[in-house]
Structure 1
């Protein structure tokens, strides 16, 4: 007679909340494996080279750091590179959807993994909104240039200008991206790769043409807001050099995740670092930091030196190029949400893919929420929603690398972070430093969101976790 095994739920214990996902998680086949190395690099660059180049660099220079925006981005790049090496090790060891959520679940335990995943749901959604706002600024520049202006109420979020009620372009863009993602990974990856190529060409034009209009006097004073301003600018700009995480969230869609993911992270981070430093050098050299147009800095800069046509070309390229950043981050948040649901930590409804093998049940809620944030929050407030959680993710990934080096030294690693524990500790140190520079309201929002997350975990996630089922 067959023995029937009864499945029950384990009581909540400290060891239970710290249970860890196995390193060698079997592939569930939920996604099509359609992305090669250069498609992964393009996806990563789509997240890395976006609003940071075409909009946020101008915001940081104008409002926070002045010409020391160079220092701001240099600090952010160093911190990002240290963490990126840790991500590369995890990506080659655990090529699964979810990125930092999955990595922390494997290395540090379920509750930490859940909280990082919960955090990333907000962070990535907010990043999508920030990028959409940046795109909207350039679309408004284009429509104004050709003689067509939206009504004042549709030009920006409340508080972003007199009479502004909603950023219509930003809101609609978020919904459009959700539609594109719902069409399938292979198709959307092709679009992303093409758009990234256009973006890199436009960035090269910006740098080469801008060099001839640099005025050395614009670099003085270099620290108009003090050294503290440059550090604060680094905290604000940090998410701009974090796009490789968005790419690692899509690891299950890679043709060979263990081999290709680490390479894609390192290649894209190196390219993006050079681009950001050159772009910052050009924008504050062309225009005095006090005169930088926050919504469309480069188009306005070239317009101011009598190159309005080039400014228009840049605006069109920015719309095309910056959209790739929103695309990469929306893809990332949907994969994190899908992975958490598949693991039982969120309702299973969101852990089912469509006939096209894409997580449409996550995509559309994310599209709507990001649209609301983009439509009704100014860019700086939206950006401040992103950074603290991303920095927290950096910290746990770095800690995870150090822990697994001790607990699983035998695990198969396609890439090994050099100089452990020095490199992870550098990433942790920079992240803590940058977190300390964030505003009080950022902390308040972050804590409120984490408290909500704890409620979801205790009330649902722990009891429904796939790791919580035990034979009785």
Structure 2
């Protein structure tokens, strides 16, 4: 049994897959990568999580939380860059761990990333709902409170969140494809909305609102970092583009670090504006803090405009994450760890059953859970995935030093170890209920693996052909 659990996908098989995909055009430079990263990172983290984290975790000191979370992401991002340049195939961190650490670790990370993508999609949908409701209210259209409040908070369901996930699922099933040009346009729209917000509220900032700066102490800053870590999710999309990057050794780190620097700067400025125009406590339970801040200073038309921009960005987030998770399920199914039906594609080239599976889970989560709980669930799965990706860098450096690497993490093993330490530090800041939910999620995942994956894994077939 131990040999089965620790079996690895042969490196030759992985590199053969890379050669088959070598027809991809290397058309992305540092600018396109930075735009891709900013497009994925800037979204629900800024438009949704900032208010809740400031109110309940760190107050104005949330800017320090963003810096700490950004540092953890920077170290993990460098590890992603190296592995993506060496193993540029579908599956991302799931495949990296499968090759470097063994099947059970690959499954565990795949299960963690599933938690990340599905839960992040649900959180974005909840944020989308809040901004949509804000626009409707400005138009004097009021939805029943029971239909815009999650079940755990006393409502029936968050209907707008369910609707947006369902629409995006239908678009995925239809076979919609997004181009880099469209992504750039959406990024500029989102950046324009953010800059407009900063300009509109800057003159309304009251320095007295920054006192106390650390109302919850340093423990609040650390706890806030564990929450706002959610705001940085998505930079691994850059690592997934390694095979389409010109001169990846130079452009990959530029794109990854560049997007993180831009995102961190914007997060800090927006947080300063939010906590400057109103006391941090007013954002408690508010899922649309940017629009709420504008309402607080009486700029209702600005609130509507920001809500429209936020909705555009959040819509893209739901669509991309739904697609990413369905492709991850497709990859795991193709490797035999999930039922083969999930790897079947339609005539439009879409893994229909995988999309439907993600849709069902996302609708349940978005309809019944509050935004704070969703964000924490997302973070704990991602932090463990980042931890093992960092471990994989060290292991593959030792086990396969000959592996071609277009980009190498500097100062190995120091940076991967720092990444691991920061991930552990952040994950222990999450509350007990989040840990309980994660343990239950892991138990469910391991039950599926031992009941199905171990018996049907294709790794043994690849090994037998060696």
Contact 1:249 1:335 in 2 (8 A): no
Matched, 1:142 2:131: no
Deviation at 1:96, TM superposition (A): 1.2
Contact 2:123 2:366 in 1 (8 A): yes
Which residue of the other structure, out of 287, 294, 311, is the alignment partner of 1:295? Answer: 287
Matched, 1:354 2:343: no
Output the TM-score relative to the length of structure 1: 0.90
Matched, 1:62 2:55: yes
Query: Which whole-Å deviations, capped at 9, do the CAs of 1:189-210 have from their partners, x for residues lacking one?
Result: 6554432321121112122333
Corresponding residue of 1:411: 403
More divergent stretch after superposition (205-214 vs 394-403) = 205-214
Q: Secondary structure at the match of 1:385?
A: helix
Corresponding residue of 2:302: 310
Contact 2:9 2:102 in 1 (8 A): yes
Which residue of the other structure, out of 46, 50, 56, is the alignment partner of 2:39? Answer: 46
More divergent stretch after superposition (26-35 vs 211-220) = 26-35
- Cα gap change, 1:204/1:29 in structure 2, threshold over 3 Å: closer, same or farther? farther
Q: Secondary structure at the match of 1:24?
A: helix
Q: Secondary structure at the match of 1:26?
A: helix
Deviation at 1:134, TM superposition (A): 0.6
- Separation of aligned partners in 2, 1:337 and 1:462: 16
Which residue of the other structure, out of 356, 360, 370, is the alignment partner of 1:364? Answer: 356
Matched, 1:378 2:367: no
Deviation at 1:31, TM superposition (A): 12
- Cα gap change, 1:139/1:34 in structure 2, threshold over 3 Å: closer, same or farther? farther
More divergent stretch after superposition (225-234 vs 32-41) = 32-41
- Cα gap change, 1:334/1:212 in structure 2, threshold over 3 Å: closer, same or farther? same
RMSD: 2.5
Corresponding residue of 2:425: 433
Matched, 1:468 2:460: yes
Deviation at 1:354, TM superposition (A): 2.6
- Separation of aligned partners in 1, 2:385 and 2:39: 20
Deviation at 1:271, TM superposition (A): 2.1
- Cα gap change, 1:321/1:339 in structure 2, threshold over 3 Å: closer, same or farther? same
- Separation of aligned partners in 2, 1:362 and 1:315: 31
Contact 2:7 2:459 in 1 (8 A): no
Which residue of the other structure, out of 265, 269, 277, is the alignment partner of 1:286? Answer: 277
Contact 1:231 1:437 in 2 (8 A): yes
- Cα gap change, 1:212/1:108 in structure 2, threshold over 3 Å: closer, same or farther? same
- Separation of aligned partners in 2, 1:289 and 1:450: 35
- Separation of aligned partners in 1, 2:45 and 2:5: 41
- Cα gap change, 1:370/1:192 in structure 2, threshold over 3 Å: closer, same or farther? farther
Query: Which whole-Å deviations, capped at 9, do the CAs of 1:385-423 have from their partners, x for residues lacking one?
Result: 111110001111111111111222221111111111111
Output the TM-score relative to the length of structure 2: 0.91
- Separation of aligned partners in 2, 1:320 and 1:300: 18
Q: Secondary structure at the match of 2:15?
A: coil
Contact 1:250 1:335 in 2 (8 A): no
- Cα gap change, 1:269/1:370 in structure 2, threshold over 3 Å: closer, same or farther? same
Corresponding residue of 2:380: 388
Matched residue count: 458
Matched, 1:332 2:324: yes
Corresponding residue of 2:113: 120
Deviation at 1:123, TM superposition (A): 2.2
Deviation at 1:295, TM superposition (A): 2.1
Matched, 1:14 2:3: yes
- Separation of aligned partners in 1, 2:131 and 2:334: 38
- Cα gap change, 1:88/1:107 in structure 2, threshold over 3 Å: closer, same or farther? same
Corresponding residue of 2:214: 223
Contact 1:170 1:374 in 2 (8 A): yes
- Separation of aligned partners in 2, 1:343 and 1:257: 30
- Separation of aligned partners in 1, 2:414 and 2:148: 47
Contact 1:35 1:189 in 2 (8 A): no
Deviation at 1:244, TM superposition (A): 1.1
Deviation at 1:19, TM superposition (A): 2.3
- Separation of aligned partners in 2, 1:403 and 1:437: 27
